[in-house]
Amino acid sequence: MIDAGLPIRAFFTTRDGGVSAPPYDSLNLAVHVGDEPHAVATNRARVADAAGAPVSYLTAAHGIAVARVDAPGQVPSTADALVTAVPGAAVAAIAADCVPVLILDEATGAVAAVHAGREGLFAGVIDAAIAEMLDLRRGRRAQGRMRASIGPAICGLCYEVPEDMRARVASRHPVAFASTRAGTPALDLPRAIETRLSDLGAERVVRSDECTAESSRLFSHRRDGVTGRFAGVAVCE
C-alpha cells in the first residue's frame, strides 16, 4: 500500500498482496478484465481489511458521472467519481495508467474517489467531483480546506499520443502538453489534474511521482495489455 498523504485513512494499492494468477498478479481489484471473480472477491476483502471499512468501487466509463455512496459498502451506479459523506463508508477508484484521485473536504468530512483518464479529464470529471463535494457543504457553516491526492499513473514522458490528440487535450489543459523521451507527442495527465484541482480551489494537492508504465509493482495497461487494476481508496471518518 502507498499512503495517500491525506489526514484520513487513504491509500493506493499496488500489485502486491493478492491471490490473482498472472497476468493479474496479484492484487487485481477489477471485475471487468477477465480475472477469476472469486480471486477478485478475495483481493477486495483484503483491501476492505486494510481500509477498516466496506469499500465501494467505481465502474469506470471514461465520462463525468458522479455517484453518491449513501451507506457503507453500497454498490454504486456506473460513474467515474464516487462521493460519500457517510462515516464508515469507503470509496475506491480503479486504474492502470489512468489517474486515480482521492479528494477530502475537511469542511464536511466528505471524500471522493475519481478515475481521471484523458477523456474524463477533458470532459470535466474533476470539476464534476468537486461540484458534488461543494454541494454537500450547502446548508452547513462549512469551514475547511479541500485537499487531494493524485495517485500513480502513466507519466508525461511515457504517455505517447498522436499529435492531434495532444493538441486537443492541451487546448483545454495547456499543462498537459508533453513530449516523450524520444521527443514524440505525449500528455502529462497528472500535471494537468494537479493544476485543475488547484484552479478549482483545492488548497493542498499531493502527487505521486511513481509512473505505472515504469514501475513493476503497479499495473499498467499501456505496458502489459491484459492486466489487473489497482485502486485509490479513501475512508470517510
Which parts of this chain interact with Zn ion (CB under 5 A)?
A: 155, 157-158, 211, 213-214
Looking at the Cβ atoms of 83 and 189, the one nearer to Zn ion is 189
List the grid coordinates of 84. 460519500
Looking at the Cβ atoms of 163 and 209, the one nearer to Zn ion is 209
Is residue 117 a contact partner of residue 100, using CB atoms and an 8 Å limit? Answer: no
Q: What DSSP string runs through 153-203?
A: B--TTT-B--HHHHHHHHHH-GGGEEE-TTS-EEE-HHHHHHHHHHHTT-S
Looking at the Cβ atoms of 28 and 212, the one nearer to Zn ion is 212
Looking at the Cβ atoms of 68 and 221, the one nearer to Zn ion is 221
Q: How far is the CB of 114 from Zn ion (least distance, A)?
A: 21
**Which residues, at least 6 apart from 136, have a Cβ–Cβ distance to it below 8 Å?**
83, 85, 105, 108, 110
Long-range (24+ apart) CB contacts under 8 A made by 42-46 are 42/18, 43/18, 43/19, 46/17, 46/18
**Which residues, at least 6 apart from 71, have a Cβ–Cβ distance to it below 8 Å?**
86, 89
Q: How far is the CB of 223 from Zn ion (least distance, A)?
A: 10
Give the amino acid at 54.
P
Q: How far is the CB of 85 from Zn ion (least distance, A)?
A: 35
Q: How far is the CB of 49 from Zn ion (least distance, A)?
A: 31
> Would the CA dihedral through 191, 101, 126, 206 be positive or negative?
negative
Looking at the Cβ atoms of 157 and 200, the one nearer to Zn ion is 157
Give the amino acid at 59.
T
Q: How far is the CB of 132 from Zn ion (least distance, A)?
A: 31
Q: How far is the CB of 217 from Zn ion (least distance, A)?
A: 14
Looking at the Cβ atoms of 48 and 157, the one nearer to Zn ion is 157
Is residue 89 a contact partner of residue 53, using CB atoms and an 8 Å limit? Answer: yes
List the grid coordinates of 16. 502486491
